[in-house]
Amino acid sequence: MLDNSINIFKRAEKVIPGGIYGHVAPAAGLPDSFPHYCDKATGHTFVDVDGKEWMDFMCGFGTILHGYSNQEIEDAANEQREKGAVFNQPSEKMVELAEILVDRINFADWAVFAKNGSDLTTWAIRVARQFTQRPYIVKAKGAYHGVDAWCDPGMGGRIPSDRQDILEFEWNKTDQLQSIFKKHGNKIAGVILTPYHHPAFAKSVMPHPTFWSEVSELCEKAGSLLILDDVRAGGRLHDNGSHCFFNFVPDLAVYSKALGNGYAISACVGKQKQKAASSEVFLTGSCWNDAVAMAASIASLSISKRDQVAEEVLAKGTYFCSKLTDVAKSFDIPLSMTGPTSMPYPFIENDDNLFKIQEFCRLCAGEGLYFHPHHNWFISNSHSYESLDLAIERTSRALEKL
Ligand SMILES: Cc1ncc(COP(=O)(O)O)c(C=O)c1O
pLDDT tens, residue by residue, 22-34? 999 998 889 999 9
One-letter amino acid at 229 equals D
Give nearest CA residue, ligand 1 atom 7. Answer: 117
Cα within 13 Å of Cα(100), Cβ side: 22
Which atom of ligand 1 approaches the CA of 23 most closely? 14
Closest CA to 70 of 297, 242, 245, 246: 297
Q: What is the average per-residue pLDDT within 346-365?
A: 96
Contact 267, 255 (CB under 8 A): yes
d(CA 102, CA 113): 13
Instruction: Report pLDDT for 200.
Output: 87
- Does the CB atom of residue 145 touch ligand 1 within 6 A? yes
Task: Output the CA 144–ligand 1 centroid distance in Å.
Answer: 7
**Whether pLDDT at 373 is above 80:** yes
**pLDDT confidence tier of residue 154, bands split at 50, 70 and 90:** confident
Give nearest CA residue, ligand 1 atom 14. Answer: 232
Dihedral (C-alpha) 173, 174, 179, 183: value to the nearest 10 degrees?
120
Lateral strand order in the sheet of 252-255: 110-114, 266-270, 252-255, 225-229, 188-193, 136-140, 166-169
Which atom of ligand 1 approaches the CA of 194 most closely? 1
Pairing of the two strands 45-48 and 53-56: antiparallel
Instruction: Report pLDDT for 171.
Output: 98
Burial class (CB in 10 A: 0-12, 13-18, 19+), 397: middle
- Does the CB atom of residue 256 touch ligand 1 within 6 A? yes
Task: Output the CA 245–ligand 1 centroid distance in Å.
Answer: 20
Contact 198, 204 (CB under 8 A): yes
Instruction: Report pLDDT for 48.
Output: 98
Task: Output the CA 118–ligand 1 centroid distance in Å.
Answer: 6
**Whether pLDDT at 246 is above 90:** yes
Instruction: Report pLDDT for 385.
Output: 98
Q: Which residues pair with 335 in a beta bridge?
A: 348
Highest CATH level, class, for 71-306? alpha beta
d(CA 238, CA 262): 19
Q: Where are the alpha helices (DSSP H) in 16-110?
A: 71-83, 92-104
Task: Output the CA 300–ligand 1 centroid distance in Å.
Answer: 19
Give nearest CA residue, ligand 1 atom 9. Answer: 117
Mutate which of 231, 266, 343, 376 for ligand 1 pocket (most atoms within 8 A of beta carbon)? 231
Mean pLDDT of the chain: 97
Which atom of ligand 1 approaches the CA of 266 most closely? 10
d(CA 234, CA 251): 16
Residue 338, φ and ψ in degrees, nearest 5: -95, 160
Task: Output the CA 267–ligand 1 centroid distance in Å.
Answer: 12
d(CA 101, CA 251): 15
d(CA 291, CA 296): 9
Mutate which of 23, 125, 137, 144 for ligand 1 pocket (most atoms within 8 A of beta carbon)? 144
Task: Output the CA 230–ligand 1 centroid distance in Å.
Answer: 9
Contact 46, 68 (CB under 8 A): yes
- Does the CB atom of residue 132 touch ligand 1 within 6 A? no
**Whether pLDDT at 402 is above 80:** no
**Whether pLDDT at 20 is above 80:** yes
Q: What is the average per-residue pLDDT within 226-242?
A: 98
Give nearest CA residue, ligand 1 atom 3. Answer: 145
| pLDDT tens digits, 171-201 | 999 999 999 999 998 999 999 999 999 998 9
Instruction: Report pLDDT for 101.
Output: 98
- Does the CB atom of residue 231 touch ligand 1 within 6 A? yes
**Whether pLDDT at 401 is above 90:** no
Q: What is the average per-residue pLDDT within 280-306?
A: 98
Task: Output the CA 227–ligand 1 centroid distance in Å.
Answer: 14
**Whether pLDDT at 1 is above 90:** no
d(CA 342, CA 236): 6
Mutate which of 237, 257, 263 for ligand 1 pocket (most atoms within 8 A of beta carbon)? 257
**Whether pLDDT at 318 is above 80:** yes
- Which helix or strand (DSSP H or E) is residue 105 part of? none
Q: Where are the domains of the chain?
A: 3-69+308-399, 71-306
Lateral strand order in the sheet of 45-48: 38-42, 45-48, 53-56, 369-370
Model confidence, pTM: 0.98
| pLDDT tens digits, 75-123 | 999 999 999 999 999 999 999 999 999 999 999 999 999 999 999 999 9
Q: What is the average per-residue pLDDT within 372-396?
A: 98
Q: Which CATH number fits domain 3-69+308-399: 3.40.190.10, 3.40.80.10, 3.30.70.600, 3.90.1150.10?
A: 3.90.1150.10
Range from 25-39, 57-71, 275-289, 331-345 carrying the lowest mean pLDDT: 25-39
Q: How far apart are the first and last CA of the chain?
A: 20
Burial class (CB in 10 A: 0-12, 13-18, 19+), 247: exposed
Instruction: Report pLDDT for 155.
Output: 85
d(CA 8, CA 12): 6
**Whether pLDDT at 203 is above 90:** yes
Asked if the domains at 3-69+308-399 and 71-306 fall in one CATH topology, the answer is no
